[in-house]
């Protein structure tokens, strides 16, 4: 039955893509129903739901005694998700629209994407600084400090997307 592996792999990818599409679509509808912008729904529910399996697997690996492996797994998975989940769809869309031959580009409906990117880079710097100050030892205090920093970053990004912190000057 080894010959069915390529077909089952493709079927698995198609199934995951269908489930992801349904989740995005349903969250967009829920956000529209409650007048919550799609960017805020993505920053909260989709990001949280997407990171949960990695968090659970990291906790299991850490509890088995491999703390460094759990942290590197979580960091590597998030880096891959950012590069693959954002970069590849934009690349494919740009290619399908004609690429650079007709100056095609994607319009991103975000009030402060540049500030969100700066905040994410700040979060990465915060992570490395906290781990360096903690002498690369994972303790509850380090976890709480990182959790509070994450909460501040998410709150900033949500309030920024709602046009509260840094007004864009545009009317909704």
**Range 142-149 contact pairs with CB under 8 angstroms and sequence separation of 24 or more:** 149/123
pTM of the shown model: 0.65
Shortest CA distance to 79 belongs to which of 135, 16, 127?
A: 127
- Which residues of the chain fall below pLDDT 70? 74, 78, 81-82, 85, 98-106, 109-111, 168-172
Report pLDDT for 133. 92
Q: Are 170 and 111 in contact (CB under 8 A)?
A: yes
Query: Given this model, what pLDDT does residue 8 score?
Result: 92
Q: What pLDDT score does 145 carry?
A: 94
Residue 106, pLDDT score: 66
Q: What is the pLDDT of residue 166?
A: 76
Tokens (6 digits) for 146: 């990182």
pLDDT of 109 reads 67
Asked if residues 165 and 153 have their Cβ atoms less than 8 Å apart, the reply is: no
């Amino acid at each position: 039955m080894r010959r069915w592996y390529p077909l089952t792999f493709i079927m698995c990818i198609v199934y995951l893509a269908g489930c992801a599409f349904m989740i995005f679509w349903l969250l967009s509808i829920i956000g529209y129903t409650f007048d919550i912008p799609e960017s805020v729904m993505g920053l909260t529910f989709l990001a949280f739901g997407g990171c949960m399996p990695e968090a659970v697997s990291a906790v299991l690996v850490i509890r088995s005694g491999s703390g460094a492996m759990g942290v590197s797994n979580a960091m590597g998975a998030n880096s891959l998700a950012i590069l693959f989940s954002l970069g590849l769809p934009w690349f494919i869309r740009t290619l399908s629209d004609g690429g650079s031959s007709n100056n095609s580009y994607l319009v991103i409906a975000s009030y402060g994407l540049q500030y969100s990117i700066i905040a994410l880079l700040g979060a990465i710097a915060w992570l490395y600084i906290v781990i360096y100050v903690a002498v690369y030892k994972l303790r509850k205090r380090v976890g709480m400090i990182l959790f509070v920093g994450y909460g501040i970053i998410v709150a900033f990004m949500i309030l920024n997307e709602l046009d509260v912190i840094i007004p864009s000057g545009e009317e909704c």
